[in-house]
Amino acid sequence: MTPTGIWLSAIGTLAIFSFLYKDNPLYRATEQILVGLSVGYLIVMTFQSTLIPRVVEPVQNLEAWGFVSAIWVLLMWTRLSAKYNYISRWPLAIIVGAGAGLSIPAMLKARIITQLGATIRPDITIDVIIGAVGVISTLSYFYFTRPQTGPFRVASKLGTLYLMVFFGATFGYTIMSRLSLLIGRTEFLLGSWLGIL
Amino acid sequence: MNLAQLDRRWIFAIIALSVALPLMFPIGLTGEVSPGTRTFHTLIENLGPEDVIIVSFDCEASSWPEIGPVATVLLRHVLERGVKVVGTSFLSEGTALGYDLLATLEAEVGGEYGGDWVYLGFRPQYVATMLALGEDMQSEYPRDYLGQSTGDLPLLQSVKSYRQIRLVISIADDTMPQYWIEYAGARYGVAIAAGLSAVMVTTFTPYLDSGQLKSILAGLKGAAEYEIMRGERGAGLRGMDAQSSAHLAIIILVLVGNIAYFMKRKDT
């Protein structure tokens, strides 16, 4: 990173950290710059990596698929017209239809069928038993179409315990994750910027 | 002193000191290598110069301080094994970070762009792209990140789709590995592994148990463990002192907070 980059990065980091003391204009300005930069970068990247090679260049080369893509892109812009905005639903319908058609079988296989197969296995070990009991009891907690009484209530309460363990583990990992970010920025400030490390 | 009315900025200051002081005065804590890290190490050890993998930088710049050390230690190992790499990204901010990292590490091992590695760059529609990579890589990416025609890159002469890909590693701070599992793993049978931020571990552990993910390496701790296995001291190990002391500070603060709460409840 160049010295200018290091200084800009350090000032940005300190400006964001200044919120920990109290809200201030420098923090808000830096936050807005960050949002603006992220969105601007995304637009430029999308334009360069997708629109130019997939729409602009094929149209310039008079390729049929380029014109098809360009027409659907232009139809999306009818959303800005009060009179013709219904036309923008046609390309959206294709996106939703194709998206659902592609994702439903893939999700069913990966998220449900394979995971279910891994939960109920023929090799009975303590891990498998703990996992299977956890799945059944947690599902029973989310089963709301009958009153949670008797054995069903016991299973539901056990499901709550499993959920608490999951939330605790996730929260622990979240703290670890956020601290790693703080460590990274502190190392940058002390090392790359101040040269202490 | 009433702890319940303690200004929270004191807590911020304690955490800041608990992170900064160990960085300035390192103790050299290491810890043990977990079985998960060993599995990932073995996975990479089983790759060789004849293998091609996809490395996808599915992360934002904001999580780079955590995910960067994971990506660095993993990819250094991959490249030292002589494995060919096809780089890609499904989050815009990860694109440049991924390219810079790969270019730096390839320069370390003397890798040549086009022959040893290529970088395809960013695509916003990840589902369509992941599926298209299973059919024809070059038609999905007519140009690479540098604007060169992918048809002119020697590596992509032999790599046409997932059929020539031995492994996909998603460097991710979010749920992108799930899509790799669904659209590349479940549909095309490609092996998937992930370098993750720690916060995503509980989301992906079930996929590890079912074998849909071959291995995960998560967070600064995961990077530190991998560095121990590799015998190098990188950002992961450097951060372990600070992470341990900050965890200790948080545990003490939680205990003190709870004691103060129960004492106050007893008084009232």
Chain A residues close to B207, C-beta within 8 Å: 115
pLDDT at position B263 is 86
* Pairwise CB contact (< 8 Å): B235 & A41: no
Q: Is residue B142 part of a domain?
A: yes
Residues B18 and B36 occupy one common structural domain: no
C-beta separation of B76 from B229 below 8 A: no
Instruction: Say which amino acid occupies B93.
Output: E
- The domain in which residue A143 lies consists of 121-197
**How confident is residue A89, by pLDDT bands cut at 50, 70 and 90?**
very high
pLDDT of residue A138: 95
Dihedral of alpha carbons B20, B26, B30, B31, sign:
negative
Strand, coil or helix: what is B56?
strand
Residue B31's pLDDT is 81
CB contact under 8 A, A197 and B23: yes
For residue A154, tell me if it sits in a domain: yes
Phi, psi of B218 (to 5 degrees): -125, 135
Taking CA–CA distances from B183, the nearest residue in chain A reads A106
Of A77, A75, A53, nearest to A65 by C-alpha is A53
A residues 129-148 near B, CB within 8 Å?
131
The answer, yes or no, to whether residue B265 has pLDDT greater than 90, is no
A71 by Cβ neighbours in 10 Å (0-12 / 13-18 / 19+) ranks as exposed
* Residues linked to residue B168 through DSSP beta bridges, in sequence order: B54, B192
**Quick one: which of B227, B217, B259 has its CA closest to B37?**
B217
Q: Is A85 touching B (CB cutoff 8 A)?
A: no
Segment A23-39, tens digit of pLDDT: 999 999 999 999 999 99
pLDDT for residue B211 is more than 70: yes
Residue B217: inside a domain, yes or no?
Answer: yes
**Closest-CA residue to B44 (of B80, B72, B69):** B80
Interface probe for B, chosen from A14, A45, A179 (most Cβ of B below 10 Å), is A179
The reply to whether B75 falls in a domain is: yes
Domain assignment of residue B193, yes or no: yes
Sheet order of strands, B192-196 included: B117-122, B84-89, B52-58, B167-172, B192-196, B215-218
Q: ipTM value, please give it.
A: 0.88
Question: How much is the pLDDT for B1?
Answer: 61
- B81 plus B15 within the same structural domain: no
CATH no. for residue B131?
Answer: 3.40.50
- Within a domain: A65: no
Assess B219–A contact: CB distance below 8 Å, yes or no.
yes
Tokens 């977990």 label which residue?
B34
Percent of all residues in chain B with a pLDDT value above 70, rounded to a whole number? 100
Is A108 an 8 Å CB contact of chain B?
A: no
pLDDT of B260 reads 87
Residue A17 confidence (pLDDT) above 90: yes
Q: What is the pLDDT of residues A123-170, one digit of tens each?
A: 888 988 999 999 999 999 998 888 888 889 999 999 999 999 999 999
Structural domain contains residue B241? no
| pLDDT value at residue A128 | 87
B184 vs A: CB within 8 A? no
Phi and psi based region of residue B89 (left: phi greater than 0; alpha: psi -120 to 50; beta: remaining): beta
Contact B7/A at CB under 8 A: no
* Together in a domain, B16 and B63: no
Helix (H, G, I), strand (E, B), or coil: what is residue B53?
A: strand
The answer to whether A188 contacts chain B (CB < 8 Å) is yes
> Rounded to an integer, what distance in angstroms lies between the CA atom of residue A18 and that of residue B248?
24
Q: Do B214 and B263 fall into the same domain?
A: no
Check whether residue B168 and residue B222 sit in a common domain.
yes
Smallest CA–CA distance, residue B100 to chain A, in Å, is: 11
Give the residue-averaged pLDDT of A172-176.
93
Query: What's the total number of domains in chain A?
Result: 1
Residues B81 and B209 in one domain: yes
The answer to whether residues B256 and B146 belong to one domain is no
Does the beta carbon of B66 lie under 8 angstroms from any beta carbon of chain A?
Answer: yes
Whole-number pLDDT of residue B130: 95
Give the tens place of pLDDT for each residue, B137-164: 998 998 999 999 999 999 999 999 999 9
B20 and B39 inside one domain? no
Instruction: Please state, in angstroms and rounded to a whole number, the distance separating the CA atoms of residues B250 and B41.
Output: 32
Distance CA B37, CA B224 (A): 10
Position B137 scores a pLDDT of: 93
B111 and B6 fall within a common domain = no
Cα separation of B205 and A169, whole Å?
12
Average of per-residue pLDDT across B242-249: 95
Residues of A in contact with B187 (CB under 8 A): 106, 109
Q: Are residues B16 and B88 in the same domain?
A: no
For residues B268 and B138, state if they share a domain.
no
The answer to whether residues B195 and B75 touch, using CB atoms and an 8 Å cutoff, is no
Q: How many CB atoms lie within 10 A of CB A169?
A: 13
Positive or negative: CA dihedral B130, B119, B78, B170: negative
- Whether B213 is covered by a domain: the verdict is yes
Separation between Cα atoms, residue A111 and residue B170, nearest integer Å: 18
Beta strand pairing call for B167-172 and B52-58: parallel
Residue B238: inside a domain? no
pLDDT, tens digit, 9 for 90 and up, residues B86-118:
999 999 999 999 999 999 999 999 999 999 999
User: Does A2 reach chain B within 8 Å, measured CB to CB?
Assistant: no
* CB neighbourhood size of B38 (10 A): 14
How many domains are contained in chain B?
A: 2
Structural domain boundaries enclosing B4: 1-30+248-268
Mean pLDDT of chain B: 93
| B3: confidence class by pLDDT, cuts 50, 70, 90 | confident
Give the residue, B38 or A149, on which the prediction is more confident: B38
Say if residue A95's pLDDT is above 70. yes
Greater confidence (B2 vs A30) lies with: A30
Whether residues B12 and B109 share a domain: the answer is: no
Q: How far apart are CA B188 and CA A193, in angstroms?
A: 46
Calculate how close chain B gets to A55, using CA atoms only, in Å. Answer: 12
In a domain, A184, yes or no: yes
Contacts of B259 (CB under 8 A, 6+ apart): none
For residues A14-30, give the mean pLDDT: 95
Both tokens of B114, joined, read 């086009």
